Amino acid sequence: MELNRMTVEQLKKAGYVERNGEWHKACGAAPRAEPQPVVRDEPVAALAREAGHASRVRVCVVSFRARLCDPDNLCPKYFIDCLRYAGLIADDAPDYITLEVRQVRCRRHEQRTEILIA
């Protein structure tokens, strides 16, 4: 009985690797995918920001926590940037918002973060 001969390309495609001149099954390892760059033509929510809000708004970030943390550890930057990207505030510069950050003690199952825009 004659063995079915495979080309090098067919072996590689079937998941075999060459080690020291011998072909071995790659133990189920899938070939690695090449990462594709993210292509964006414009920033997220650019049109909403251009329309914007003309007046200064008050943004209050309230953190309800079981264990209160140091005031300098309450960092609202992530929330403010999300509001800006979503077009809910025009900009995060001091000319556009008044920022207020506070924390309230609560039970563990009631922990949350509230963001108030007025």
pTM of the model: 0.52
Domain boundaries, given as residue ranges, for the chain = 1-30, 51-117
Q: What is the pLDDT along the chain (118 residues), one digit of tens a residue?
A: 344 577 778 777 777 777 777 777 766 555 566 667 766 666 655 555 455 545 789 999 999 999 999 888 888 898 899 999 998 998 889 889 999 999 999 999 999 999 999 8
In the beta sheet, which residues pair with residue 22?
A: 19
In angstroms, the CA 25 to CA 47 distance is 53
In angstroms, the CA 88 to CA 82 distance is 9
- Which residue, 43, 48, 76, is CA-closest to 61? 76
SS3 content of the chain, % helix, strand, coil (to 5): 25, 25, 50
Query: What is the layout of strands, in order, in the sheet containing 57-65?
Result: 97-105, 57-65, 112-117
